[in-house]
Amino acid sequence: MKLSELARRTEVSPASIKYYLRLGVLTPGQKRNATTAAYTEAHVHRLALITWLRRELDLPLAAIAELTSVIDDETVSNLELMGLCQRLASHPGVADTVGTDAADPPVADTPVTDTRLPSEQPPRGDGDDGDAAVRSALAALEWPDVSPTARTAVAEALTDLAAAGYTVDADTVLLHARALEEIARTNTLPISDDLTRDEIALAVIRGITLHNRLLVSMSGLVHAAMSAQVRRQGG
């Protein structure tokens, strides 16, 4: 397809597409002649990913470029790519600010603030007890421990809860893990290796972002209902 059709199908302006091509986050199309290139479904998938990251997470192009370089690196397994996407979706705002490139200003509909892809952060304070609780729960469930970032995040949450006076241990992790197991299986089943790597990245990032919003809002709904139920029973 020509650039004009690519722009129409993806609802991304030709100016933005050309800008992404210059930055290298979008691979060039196959040259037909000196002025025309042909684009494929791979370009549609890449633009869908870029558009989601820009609109929903407000992710800077510098971070998107790091992600797309990993997607294009076939030595990185799909599982490793999914782990990176999980970190990105969970911590989109954790980044190091650097200066913008004044020599190559962005087009109007793609504002850029250059920051870096979020990296794994060290635990706050002494998270040994929390980490031990998470590891114990994973062992009891016989689940693979494949995401240090997710494990550390749970351990930090346990540490914060304990510091606030809540009683937390491996049973706390087991309770939450079992409650979420069926949801997680349902969410991850469609993400197969039959998808392109851009589709995998988008499915993981979009899924985590939207389902996290649902989980937080559902938590508020359920807690409110349970609080009201207890008071009605007591009254």
CATH code assigned at 65: 1.10.1660.10
Question: What is the token pair recorded at 190?
Answer: 């469609």
pLDDT of residue 115: 41
pLDDT of residue 30: 92
pTM score above 0.85? no
- Structural domain tally of the chain? 1
pLDDT of residue 149: 83
* pLDDT tens sequence across 122-156: 444 456 799 999 999 999 999 999 888 889 989 99
Has residue 120 got a pLDDT over 90? no
- The structure tokens 């979706």 sit at 89
Amino acid symbol at 212: N
Question: What is the token pair recorded at 231?
Answer: 């008071």
Q: Band of the pLDDT at 235, cuts 50, 70, 90?
A: low
Domain assignment of residue 153, given as a range: 3-234
pLDDT of residue 216: 95
Write the CA distances from 4 to 25, 37, 66, integer angstroms: 19, 11, 27
Query: Mean of the per-residue pLDDT values for the chain?
Result: 86
Q: How far is CA 169 from the centre of its chain?
A: 28
Q: Band of the pLDDT at 104, cuts 50, 70, 90?
A: very low
Q: How far is CA 71 from the centre of its chain?
A: 14
Alpha helices in the chain (DSSP H): 3-10, 14-23, 41-56, 61-72, 78-90, 128-141, 148-163, 170-188, 197-234
pLDDT of residue 21: 96
Question: What is the token pair recorded at 188?
Answer: 């991850």
pLDDT of residue 205: 96
pLDDT of residue 93: 58
Distance from C-alpha of 39 to C-alpha of 28, rounded to nearest angstrom: 8
Q: Is 189 helix (H, G, I), strand (E, B) or coil?
A: coil
pLDDT of residue 106: 39
* pLDDT tens sequence across 151-190: 998 999 999 999 999 999 999 999 999 999 999 999 999 9
* pLDDT tens sequence across 31-47: 988 788 999 999 999 99
Tell me what the mean pLDDT of segment 51-69 comes to.
94
Amino acid symbol at 188: T
